[in-house]
Structure 1
Amino acid sequence: MIIRKALMAPVWVLQLATGSKSFLDNPLIGSQRLNRRGLHVARVRLADSLCRWRRKRLARKVRPDWREAFDRDGFVAIPDIVPPAEFAALREAVLGYEGPAREMRQGDAITRRMAVDPAMLQAIPALRRLLERKDIVALFHYVASYRITPLHYVQTIVSKAGGNDPDPQEVLHADSFHSSLKAWLFLNPVTIEDGPFTYVPGSHRFTPERLAWERERSLADPRAIDRLSARGSPRIGQRELDAMKLPAPRALAVAANTLVVADTVGFHARGPSLRSGERVELWSYARRNPFLPWLGGDPSSLPGIAERRVGIVWRVRDRLAKQIGQPWQPVGHRTPTERD
């Protein structure tokens, strides 16, 4: 144990300058003594300051109405993002596409993902055109606070899929201590009964109340709280939201062809589903080291690499499954809505 700590100490120190967030796996990040002296809050404040500085430099390319909505709420919902005359054909092409799929179960929900890879982009040219649209790319860059190409998937959520445990994604939480991008282009309507994406407006801002909450949670014993919070994705209750003077969560029941883009440092959740069913969406994700002072320079965003990253990540995790785990299990070639 002593030898392991000595070998890992330099790694733990270096992780302080990255997006590493687990209070459980890094004894420096989880140190109550260091956090009493302000370590966690210092990382939060620095990451937030750099994020705001980067966004200021990216802002001019973003449509003003989208930028204003995002700056106010932490998310923006854009109806009819695809011209309505073109949406039906895009939706049909995506739903009919058959390719390698992976699934993960969390509680009573199953999530299926198919990588938006070169094969899919070649088969569905309209999808490539959509992801290369300058207005959407500029918005993604602004929310991510970097000129970075997100990972793109076709994602299917199957709710009430059996099992006795609740879906942990239905609890309000922040993904990390720093900003990151997630986006959903819904291919089907999402009603309140379907468990829509839910967000606490304005919770992406690090107000004095939010910083006080960050400090308080950093002082908790990570072995005495829920596992996801201990690993840096903190869950939150209504009393804590009230203490931060935040409004009620807003459930985004939306029509098909609506794009929702959010900063998931804000408190969000998948709303509780009141019935069994499934929804399909184009799901995008980007998170980068929050302490970098530049906007670009991400080699994984280069053409020819960006669209292959998902497959590379899956294969690496398959090989290292015993060491780092692999929750995404291959389920063969499927369409987004094809079940066993």
Structure 2
Amino acid sequence: MSQDTVPWWRYPAYALGVFGSEKSFRNNPLLGNPRLNQLGLHRERVRLAAAMTDYRRRFLGLSVSAEERAAFERDGFVIRENALPRDIFERIRDFLKNEPLHAREMRQGQTVTRMIPINPGVLAKTPEIAHFSREPSITNLIRYVGGFGGDPIYFVQTIIAEPSIRKIDPQTALHADTFHSSSKAWLFLEDVGPDDGPFVFVPGSHKLTDKRLGWEYRQSLSAVGDKRSHHAAGSFRIMPENLSELGDFTPRKVVVPANTLVVADTYAFHSRAVSDRRTLRVELHAYHRANPFAPLPFSILPLFPGLRDRRLDLFLSHADRQARRTGKPPVWSDVGACTAYSEAHI
């Protein structure tokens, strides 16, 4: 975005974005300003966000076991096998295989992602799924890894890889989601093998070292003009061969049996593995990101009864209105009712 074309009255909103979770160098002319980044704007946002996250984790870690805290400190992710009682897990999986639910889909190259919000309607049909979305030991771990209080957003996620479509999935490039810690969680409903397009993670790359901070600074100087749209939007990409510049890092495929929970800090470098064959993976998924500069390890969300399980539906409705207003297709296409295991619709 050229600063010459931005109305002056928008700058107060852009300035507020600097003090929040806004990350796009292309959409916010202050974040993308080369002179400000030469002076260290992005670098200091990264540094301050990491310091505030460490502060909040001191309190959030009190609700997480010592073993899982140690695993996170070492690797940047936590793996918990047999996450749900076996009978509950099997009832959830059977329900999702057979019950059509309202779904959205998004295509990125050869990959389709399906999203089914875990909202009051889904919880009424299958109360067992609350063992994932409302289980304190799971929620507390997601909060700790992300470094935020409050409640994550929960949904059923299906990943369908179609390698016959010769288009690149941008999520198969190693990247960090944003400039600060945030967390994602996957409870896999089927075994995930090395050829099933598994999650790829770079253990230890969640830590803000001097080398990583220098790398962040260098990226910030040219990100606004980068041809990679995700990179310019603040989700920095890195080539595997460049990892050695930042430390002794080796990407790892996260291969796990069904009923395994994985919770990861997505400031670490990660990706989706490229699939050489058609694959379909279903998981219970959670996403947790908030203002990285918030000083307190809790949220005001509990003050609004009934909002917790409706936030994703509200977001999607807002996105639909925006799409109609601008005439652009929505990122998440409404595909009606289908099961989590059905074929892709887009």
TM-score class, shorter-chain normalisation, is over 0.9
Q: Which residue of 1 aligns with 2:334?
A: 330
Mean Cα displacement is larger for which, 128-137 or 64-73? 128-137
Distance 2:188 2:226 in 1: 38
Alignment of 1:277-316 (within 5 A): 277-299=279-301, 302-316=304-318
Distance 1:239 1:197 in 2: 19
**Residue 193 of structure 1: SS of its match in structure 2?**
coil
What does the per-residue CA deviation read over 1:241-286, in whole Å, with 9 as the maximum and x for residues that have no partner?
A: 1100132101011111010000101100011112102010001101
Q: Which residue of 2 aligns with 1:142?
A: 144
Q: Aligned-pair RMSD on alpha carbons? A: 1.7
Distance 1:320 1:62 in 2: 40
Mean Cα displacement is larger for which, 173-182 or 235-244? 235-244
Does the CA contact (< 8 Å) of 1:94 and 1:124 recur in 2? no
Structure 2 residue runs without a partner (length 5+): none
**Residue 7 of structure 2: SS of its match in structure 1?**
helix
**Residue 42 of structure 1: SS of its match in structure 2?**
helix
What does the per-residue CA deviation read over 1:197-252, in whole Å, with 9 as the maximum and x for residues that have no partner?
A: 01000111100010010011011152233111000001101232110013210101
Distance 2:304 2:163 in 1: 38
Distance 1:3 1:169 in 2: 32
What does the per-residue CA deviation read over 1:123-173, in whole Å, with 9 as the maximum and x for residues that have no partner?
A: 111111332222112111211222211111111111016532111111100
Q: Would you say 1:244 and 2:236 are equivalent positions?
A: no
Does the CA contact (< 8 Å) of 2:96 and 2:341 recur in 1? no
Q: Which residue of 2 aligns with 1:53?
A: 55
For 2:214, the aligned partner's letter is A
Structure 1 residue runs without a partner (length 5+): none
Q: Could you tell me how far 1:188 is from its partner in structure 2?
A: 0.6
Q: Could you tell me how far 1:57 is from its partner in structure 2?
A: 1.1
Q: Residues 187, 3 of structure 1: CA spacing in aligned structure 2 closer, same or farther, 3 A cutoff? A: closer
Q: Which residue of 2 aligns with 1:26?
A: 28
Does the CA contact (< 8 Å) of 1:300 and 1:309 recur in 2? no
Distance 2:223 2:126 in 1: 49
Distance 1:133 1:302 in 2: 20
Distance 1:31 1:325 in 2: 29
Q: Which residue of 2 aligns with 1:176?
A: 178
Q: Which residue of 1 aligns with 2:268?
A: 266
What does the per-residue CA deviation read over 1:91-124, in whole Å, with 9 as the maximum and x for residues that have no partner?
A: 1123223211111100001111111010111111
Distance 1:5 1:29 in 2: 16
Q: Which residue of 2 aligns with 1:7?
A: 9
Identity of aligned residues (%): 39
For 1:255, the aligned partner's letter is P
**Residue 31 of structure 2: SS of its match in structure 1?**
coil
Does the CA contact (< 8 Å) of 1:149 and 1:301 recur in 2? no
Equivalent pairs, count: 340
Q: Which residue of 2 aligns with 1:64?
A: 66
Q: Which residue of 2 aligns with 1:84?
A: 86
Does the CA contact (< 8 Å) of 1:174 and 1:235 recur in 2? yes
Q: Which residue of 2 aligns with 1:131?
A: 133
Does the CA contact (< 8 Å) of 1:223 and 1:230 recur in 2? yes
Q: Which residue of 2 aligns with 1:188?
A: 190
